[in-house]
Each structure stands twice: as C-alpha cells, then as structure tokens.
Amino acid sequence: MRIKVKQALAAEQPLKGVTVSGWVRTRRDAKDFSFVEINDGSCFKNLQVVVDAAAPGAEHLKEALTGSSVSVDGELVPSPAKGQKWELKATAFRLLGRADETFPLQKKGHTVEFLRTIPHLRARTNRLGSMMRVRSRMAIAVHEFFQQRGFAYVHTPIVTASDCEGAGELFRVTTLDPVAPPKTPEGKVDWSADFFAKQSYLTVSGQLEGETLACALGDVYTFGPTFRAENSHTSRHASEFWMIEPEMAFCDLEGDMRCAEELVKYLVKTALEQCSDELDFFNAYVDKGLLERLRFVAERPFARVTYTEAVELLLKSGRKFEYPVVWGENLQSEHERYLTEEHFKCPVTVYDYPKSAKPFYMRQNDDGKTVAAMDVLVPGVGEIVGGSQREERLDRLVAAMQAHGLDLASYGWYIDTRRFGSVPHAGFGLGFERLLMFVTGEGNIRDVIAYPRTPGHA
C-alpha cells in the first residue's frame, strides 16, 4: 500500500508492506547499503530510505541521482539516526525516472533569481515547495473563515465590460484580427463585430458583480484571479493575482474594517498552527523575524488612523521621502511602509481617504472631502487590503459616476441595486499573494505564485 511521506513520518507504530514514492533529494552510499532521502511533496521533511545492496532493484541505486523518481517497498522502522523517528527499510527498490547530472536542482542552495528561470522545476525545492503547501492551506483557510460566518461563496465573471477601479489597467479580450480588424464607416475599430459585440476585458475586481449578489444573499465572497495591465515593475505587483473579495449587506465601514482584521488574523493563526515546518524554514532561511512578528500580529489589535492623521504623522516624521506627502493624494508605498514598520510597528488600518484619490463607488463622508475607504497596511509588504463602505444613495452614486466620467448607460445594472431596495453595504479585497508574502516573509511576489505574470513575462 502506498503511503505518503507525511503519513510515514506521523506513524504511531512500525508498518510492514508499505510503498513510498517520491524524488531523490540525496543519496549516500556505504559499503553494503545506501541511504536515500526521498521527498514526495506531501510535507516539508524527507523520509530516509535504507536500501541494502542485496535488495531487489538495488543494482539501479547508482543511477538514482538527485531529482530521480523512485518507488520503494519496505518496512517502516524506528530510525537510529538523530532527528527522525522513522525510516524505511527497503525490501524492493524501483527507479522510475532518471534525472542525470544536468538536473538543475543539485544539492547546493540556489538564488531565488535563478529559481525564477525554472518555474516548472522550482516547486521541488524546499523554498517553493513550502510556499505551495502554505498557499494551499491558506486558500482553504479563507473558505473556512467565511463559511464559518455564513457567507456564500460566489463566482463573478472573469470577462467583463466594466472597469471597477476606473484606473484603465485592463487587458482586452478580443477575437478580432489584430492586423485587419473590421472598421466603422468613420474608420475606427468596429467593436460591435467582436466576440461579445462590445469591448470586453479581463476583470480587475469582482466587486461590482459581488455587490449585486450581496444585495440578494446578504454576505458573499469571491476568491478568484484578477488581472491588471499595470506597468509596475515592483516586488509587490503582479499582472495576474488572486483576490479575496467579501461583500456584506447591512454593513458599514466599521464592520468592514473588523472583518478584514479578523480575516488576516485567522489566516496568520492558521499558518502558525498548521504550517509550522514551513514557517520554521522561512524563519530560518528567508526572514529571521518572521515567527516573532506573526505571533505578535495574531494577538494584538491592529492600529487605526484616519488618512488625515496618517498624513500628519508622515509630515511630522522629519523623514525625507522620495514622493512628497500631500493631502489628497494616495499614499505611496514608502509612506505606507513608514507607518506600519516604523511608526506603529504593527499592522495599521488607514481609513477615510480623500475622495479625489479613490474610485466612484465609495461612500461619501459628511465632510464632503473624504470617502469611507480603508486600507490595511502590514510590515514588510505595505497594503494588503483595500476596501470601503459603498455609496448606497442613488443620487450621490450617480453624481459620483458622472464626475468620474462613467457611461451611465452601461452601468444600469449596477445602479439598479440602488434603485430597488438599496442597503448600506461594504466590502474589501485582500490580495492573496500579498497575504502570502506577509505570512512567509518572502520579499518578492514572484516567489509566492507558481507561474508569476509580470510585465514582459508570461
């Protein structure tokens, strides 16, 4: 019976007649037997396999180089070696797939830059393998969090005709011939002849459709891929990333901020409790302060400041920033990092942003200058959550859409939520890759997703 390395290492008693399959990490040969370290991806640790030179198949041991795949039958017995409870004593050894000396992941450590050149192989390293396991666990924890709270998991479209964030960072979806597209009599591209009979794009956010579903189901969340054709060459921006977007009816900004804080804490706690081998590894090799920081975050309330207070703190800091701090403009990443890393030294929720810096859908505050927006900033990453209470008042919403130059005719469906039984509601987006950077201490978004897409790289 095949068991995974994870099961083998967690065994409570010796086991006979088991098979373990995986990839060779290292092999050491003694005179009459060999030690083969096997990893099958099921957990961080390897299983040590002891193959007697007389065991069936042992004649192929010499060819079982690092990276080769093998399958071993044997008995799980207590290991005399330090640091491991069990080892597999082989009764039969099978070499499944050879890997020769050109296999790029030989034992020595590799730089993340080199590993990015082999995305198809790098998940076989401790670093990326750990990331993939943490990623999987965190994705399920997102569902646990919302399911425990009675949210419905909804699927919003990937192809859309609207630009939720209004930033114009859209990837076009078209089946028109790029060399000779059909033209209108005025000589422009005739989008009515395109597949969807209008211009369409990959979504930047599922929020607008999410709002319509929250206005039917109460509490909903999406968790899907989003796309931004933003030409940002930073360690925190990807062109394709996954976003978690809850949307809550009968909820205000306060409830929104609380939900975001609870979600981030739940994910951090789950990682600490259930991904401890992986986090120990990241703490040792990637970010020495990781565990201490995560434990601290899991226990303490996040700091909270208004945008206006944040601007005052930045102006008083005496810091020379590359971008000047100006009330009315979005905070730059260096400003966000100063607030969370140096001033508060903990996650901070900044709220009530100037309306000039934010999209059309955010609820206007009574001061006439700000909107009920919030961002959660965390040390090491900066913004991981962006959200707001939504403008539920029909007249205010329409005025804001006009001010942002939106074509009202194509947003009739969205405006309907305010025409028929409008309710206060709020939501946010948590960037899944940014969350993973925070939870693992990885400094570059390219190392938290298997196949990163960034400008110039697909």
Residue 230 interacting with ligand 4AD (CB under 6 A): yes
CB 273 within 8 A of CB 391: no
In whole angstroms, give the CA distance from residue 282 to residue 439.
Answer: 9
Residue 297: name the closest of 349, 334, 246, 254 by CA. 349
Residue 427 interacting with Mg ion (CB under 5 A): no
CB 96 within 8 A of CB 69: yes
CB 382 within 8 A of CB 336: yes
Question: 242-271: which residues touch ligand 4AD (CB under 6 A)?
Answer: 243, 245
Query: Least Å distance between CB 261 and Mg ion?
Result: 16
- Which listed range, 7-15, 18-26, 105-113, 424-432, lies at the site for ligand 4AD (CB under 6 A)? 424-432
Q: Which is nearer to ligand 4AD, 39 or 333 (CB)?
A: 333
Residue 452 interacting with ligand 4AD (CB under 6 A): no
Query: Least Å distance between CB 307 and ligand 4AD?
Result: 14
Question: 189-208: which residues touch ligand 4AD (CB under 6 A)?
Answer: 205, 207
Query: Least Å distance between CB 433 and ligand 4AD?
Result: 5
CA–CA distance from 274 to each of 269, 278, 279 (Å)?
A: 8, 9, 9
Q: CA torsion, points 76, 78, 80, 85, in degrees to nearest 10?
A: 100
Q: Is 51 exposed, middle or buried (0-12, 13-18, 19+ CB in 10 A)?
A: buried
Residue 188 phi/psi, 5° resolution? Answer: -90, 165
Residue nearest to Mg ion (CB): 386
- The residues facing 305 across adjacent strands are 350
Residue 434 interacting with ligand 4AD (CB under 6 A): yes
Question: 371-390: which residues touch Mg ion (CB under 5 A)?
Answer: 386
> Which contiguous run of DSSP H or E holds residue 8?
helix 5-9
Q: For the window 125-164, what string marks contact with ligand 4AD as x by the rule CB under 6 A?
A: ---------------------------------------x
Query: Least Å distance between CB 188 and ligand 4AD?
Result: 30
List contacts with ligand 4AD (CB under 6 A): 164-165, 205, 207, 228, 230, 237-238, 241, 243, 245, 383-387, 427-429, 431, 433-434, 445
Residue ranges that bind Mg ion, judged by CB under 5 A: 386
